[in-house]
A and B are shown apart, each in its own frame.
Chain A
Amino acid sequence: MGEGVETLRRDLRELVHKHVPPDFLGAFTDDPADLEVAQSFSRTLAELGLLCMAWPTEFGGRGATLWEQTVVREEMWAHHEPRGAQYMGVNWVGPAIMRHGTAEQQQRHLPPIARGEVIWCQGFSEPESGSDLASLRTTAHPDEESGGWRVSGQKVWTSYATMAQWCFLLARTSREKRRQQGLTVFLVPMSDPAIEVRPIPSMLGPHHLNEVFFDELRVTEADVLGTVGGGWSIVQEVLAFERVGIARYARVERLLQAAPAALGAEWDVLPEELRSRWARMLVHARRARLLAYRVVSLQAGGRIRPDDSAAYRIAVTRLDQESAEVLMDIVAGASLPGEEGRRFRRAVEDHRRYSVSATVASGSVEMQRILMSRSLLAAR
């Protein structure tokens, strides 16, 4: 990756070591202090110019290379994403506003994102529209009184909705022949009383899953991102910003590599077959990392196609789940005494709960298979 990139990795580790408690397992736990850790850490990254380093210089970033961005993704996910929900604003809401926003929208939204002060949520999925996003029913009806629209409908699985200040909302503004047409992106404040958020208790912990109801929410032309009816292409572009998405392999590698030290002498009395499964997972984690690097390399060379990240996503989500089973077996048979042992056990347990969602979150693995098989079986 190069020396500069490894220096960045070292800097990020030092910052995490200094600002994030060792037992931090993410911003969204039962303990509100964890959210504050993440918000504070994000502000620190922002002050050091590390939060939005991928952004172009004209928007306050430093145009970080794709490999630098890769290291940031790896280090943050490996350390339980101490940026909390900030990655969403930084990684794709901000860039989408840069490309499609008006000068006023850019002025309003980009500086708070760059300072790590604002949390965004994503209003895409609905009860009847999961993988088939274009079938969504949340509708923006023309409001003759204001000249804008009134939005009604329901979103679901909306992460961070209870704490977000803004929502990147996709709604239908007209019915066209193709379902992908007639969709519009609105940037709406979550403080509006026409929006109601209901948390959904889940194994992932609080704040991850919510229902969001829109009851005659008034929006205007000024809230539209891009053009009316042009929402689908923005969403497709947004998804393309996240070719590699979450660097799940990084947390897996860190946990696997930490296991022998965490178990101490007990490691040597684990069943041989379990250590063998552990070694196999290390190989699979490396394989997933190299598949991610393949995507980054293609992207860097300007040769990326929409399906190129599918193989990585299939491999890494499977890795997440298989490694969780192996790690759970490892900790289940060990005493893991003391604070460090307890910490390792909790991290593994947390990884296992999260891994269940790996093949569903951010697009199901079946969608990735469909995408990949289309390309594989296309005419050449």
Chain B
Amino acid sequence: MNTELSEEAVEYGRTALRAFEAAGGDQIVQDAEREPARRADLVEPVLAELGAWDLDPRGGADELEAVAALCRVAGWWALPYPVAERLARPADGSTDGLVVIAGTGPGGAAGAAGAGDARDAGDAGDAGLVGYGPAAPVAGLGRRWSTVTFDGGRGVATAAPPTTTPRYGAFVTGLVDDPALVPSQASRDGDGLADLALGLVLPCWTLLGMLDRAIDLTRAHVLAREQFGQPLARFQGVQFQLTDAEVERLGVEELAKYALWAVATGRGEAVDDALALRLAILEAADQVFRVAHQLHGAMGFCDETTLSWISRYSQPVRRLPLGLSATRDELTRRIGRAGLAGPFAPRREPNLEVQPL
């Protein structure tokens, strides 16, 4: 059993990491926050240089793995740009990207958490982290976004102008359903559930990159910072906290690879696998960022530390389209009595008869 990404994907990730480092590294998100209008210009040329726009995440395992590796790099640098959403755009280029939104039905209006009330486009900027209703970190980029809901319903939405600064909204803005644009989606390849799985998994790879970075930054900090005449890393209380956080990170890395494989092979359970990943990585993010902030001390709140930026810009992917509790509810509802696929799931793999208890 191969539990690794392909060497090509890993190498592509290394190349991307260096390319964004050369383009400013941690400075990119800081510049974008100061001058939101430059957001695309700071990131898109590097993506073009990396050939990212030629990658098709629906084009097979190799391309999907390369996209995942790139999303992970985007997380490492907290790139102020929805790399995962943009690269998951429909193959026909009819919209600027794909976002998963809460609720059911095109546009996600019905049943979306907190989105039950009708609202007009004027309210829509107050969404997500800064309001309610379908939202994504796509402020100031393209206007038209493909959407997919948790029942696989597709739609097209328009990104509202943001109503707050990125410092507080992390580039999140509301999405307004645009029924007039839906018919153009009929020709799209694949089905809505495949889009849903893809749209859930790729942002998790971005968050994984953020967890990689948070652990790395914290490791460096506790090795360098001295108290009571020795590095913090010498204290077992510090060691154990960091170790537990790393166990979380390693665990979700494996789930991320598994979910990616599920998407690449078009497994029927790919949405379950994606939700399982999302649940685990949201739990992991909770612990990793809590430990990272605790071990950084007051320094971790300060913008002179990279942790402060990574922590703030992790918020959209951790809360949208569903936060931890809502993700768990969705997974529980979806798997019902059948559980998750695996060697001990009787229904999913009938050739492997499990002896009843």
Contact = CB atoms under 8 A, between A and B. Distances in A.
Interface of A: 1-2, 6, 9-10, 13, 16-17, 22, 67, 74, 78-79, 250, 253-258, 260-262, 267, 272, 275-276, 278-280, 282-291, 293-294, 296-297, 311, 314-315, 340, 343-344, 347, 366, 369-370, 372-373, 376-377
Contacts of A250: 343-344
B14 to A, nearest CB: 16
Interface in B227-272: 233, 236, 239-240, 242-244, 246-247, 250-252, 254-255, 257-258
B217 interface: no
A286 B247 contact: no
Contact of A297 (B1, B328, B331): B1
Contact of A373 (B1, B240, B280, B357): B240
Contacts of A377: 219, 222-223, 233, 239, 242
A10 B351 CA distance: 8
B223 to A, nearest CB: 6
A282 B355 contact: no
A9 B343 CA distance: 9
A78 B345 CA distance: 12
A267 B337 CA distance: 8
Contacts of B250: 291, 294, 311
Contacts of B343: 9, 74, 250, 253
Contacts of A22: 355-357
A10 B353 CA distance: 8
B335 interface: yes
Nearest to B223: A377
A17 B254 contact: no
B280 A287 contact: yes
Given A67-B1, A253-B342, A283 B240 contact: no
Contacts of A286: 255, 258, 276, 340, 342
Interface string B1-15: 111100000000000
Contacts of B329: 272, 276
Interface string B69-97: 00000000000000000000000000000
Contacts of A294: 3, 250, 254
A272 B333 CA distance: 9
Contacts of B223: 377
Nearest to B353: A13
Contacts of A6: 351-352
Contacts of B2: 297
